[in-house]
């Protein structure tokens, strides 16, 4: 099932609303709370998600919604929207501009549309199954790199990887032509645009990876879990994005030794 054009148009409007709301709060005075897992949540997270939910409920009353801050509404519905209002709250609250807004449209739990908006950068990435990917309306696609030793490799959540999977971390430190440590959605978006060749990520939630997976795959890339399985709501949060099947295979071999 291909996403209808009006879904994409609505998704872009939602990203505008979310970005405007985030920019109003960015580098201002924020009320900050900490969740049970010690991750922070700000007033901005709650404000963005509330406005996005209001819009989606008005325009898609028959669709379910999954959001980071307000949970699941209509979880038994075939079509759903999934929201991460501020992807990179720690970046946001520290004044770092590489935080994003994520929105995905799901059919039977599979993402067929994904938006990655970078409010502080005025960049909006859109990926639609069967229709390609864009950055601010211009077509983008992944690189053609096939050899890991020649690839630009981004390692997300490197501190957690080093703590929980030290052997994998050591292999990563010997891989790629260029390595960068990072967090959150932007490295995956850069991969969709052809600037990065591989991203390994860890300890994510479904609202972190499903919107991004739709973008990466619409741009011609591959995004799976560490076992090479397609991503779904119940995936364990360990993901690999790769520009080509060859790089994806090499990364699977790397994580499994």
Strands 152-156 and 178-182: parallel
Using 50, 70 and 90 to split pLDDT, how confident is the model at 41? low
Phi first, then psi, for residue 241 (nearest 5°) are -110, 135
Mean pLDDT (the chain) is 92
In this predicted structure, the answer to whether residue 146 has a pLDDT above a threshold of 80 is yes
Q: Please state, in angstroms and rounded to a whole number, the distance separating the CA atoms of residues 115 and 214.
A: 8
In this predicted structure, the answer to whether residue 3 has a pLDDT above a threshold of 60 is no
Question: Can you point out the beta strands (E) in the chain?
Answer: 32-34, 40-42, 64-67, 71-73, 79-87, 100-107, 110-118, 123-128, 132-135, 138-140, 152-156, 178-182, 198-201, 222-225, 239-242
Three-state SS for 228?
coil
- Which pTM does this prediction carry? 0.93
Share of the chain above pLDDT 90, in %: 82
In this predicted structure, the answer to whether residue 31 has a pLDDT above a threshold of 80 is no
pLDDT in tens, 115-130: 999 999 999 999 999 9
Three-state SS for 56?
helix
């Amino acid at each position: 099932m291909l996403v209808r054009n009006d879904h994409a148009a609505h998704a872009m409007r939602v990203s505008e609303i979310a970005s405007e709301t985030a920019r109003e709060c960015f580098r201002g005075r924020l009320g900050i709370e900490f969740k049970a897992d010690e991750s922070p949540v700000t007033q901005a997270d709650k404000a963005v998600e509330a406005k996005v939910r209001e819009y989606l409920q008005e325009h898609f009353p028959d669709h379910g919604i999954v959001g980071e801050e307000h949970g699941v509404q209509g979880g038994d519905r075939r079509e759903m929207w999934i929201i991460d209002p501020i992807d990179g709250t720690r970046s946001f609250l520290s004044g770092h501009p590489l935080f994003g807004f994520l929105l995905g449209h799901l059919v039977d739990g599979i993402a067929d549309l994904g938006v990655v908006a970078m409010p502080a950068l005025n960049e909006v990435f859109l990926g639609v199954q069967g229709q390609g990917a864009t950055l601010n309306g211009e077509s983008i696609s992944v690189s053609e790199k096939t050899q890991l030793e020649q690839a630009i490799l981004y390692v997300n959540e490197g501190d957690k990887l080093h703590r929980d999977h030290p052997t994998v971390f050591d292999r990563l430190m010997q891989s790629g032509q260029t390595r960068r440590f990072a967090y959150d959605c932007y490295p995956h978006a850069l991969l969709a645009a052809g600037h990065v060749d591989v991203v390994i990520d860890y300890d994510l939630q479904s609202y972190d990876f499903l919107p991004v997976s739709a973008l990466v795959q619409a741009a011609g890339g591959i995004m799976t879990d560490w076992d090479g399985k397609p991503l779904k709501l119940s995936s364990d949060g360990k993901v690999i994005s790769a520009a080509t099947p060859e790089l994806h295979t090499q990364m699977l071999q790397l994580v499994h030794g």
